[in-house]
């Protein structure tokens, strides 16, 4: 499990689970310590990410902060989620 602090208000907890056909990365977004969103990415074999959880973090930021472009871009830069 890894915790990615976005700011004082938001953090994302990422974890890994084995599945019947491969594995998945799960990201849970917390706002002030409370879960506000959850997403996952499923894989059949290894990933080609720059770092572990990059894809699921990007998916979470894109989905949850879709209406707030400033926060979305700030978090993408902070977490180095660019491709």
- Starting at the edge strand that comes first in sequence, how are the strands of the sheet with 23-31 ordered? 2-5, 10-18, 23-31, 34-43
Q: Model confidence over 50-69: pLDDT tens digits?
A: 889 999 999 999 999 999 99
Task: Report domain extents, the chain.
Answer: 2-78
> Which residue bears the tokens 């990201």?
27
Residue 81 confidence (pLDDT): 82
Q: Model confidence over 65-82: pLDDT tens digits?
A: 999 999 999 999 999 886
Give SS3 for 40.
Answer: strand
């Amino acid at each position: 499990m890894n915790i990615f602090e976005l700011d004082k208000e938001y953090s994302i907890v990422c974890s890994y689970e084995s599945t019947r056909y491969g594995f998945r990365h799960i990201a849970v977004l917390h706002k002030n310590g409370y879960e506000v969103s959850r997403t996952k990415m499923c894989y059949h074999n290894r990933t080609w990410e720059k770092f572990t959880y990059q894809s699921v973090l990007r998916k979470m930021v894109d989905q949850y902060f879709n209406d707030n472009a400033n926060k979305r871009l700030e978090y993408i830069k902070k977490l180095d989620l660019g491709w």
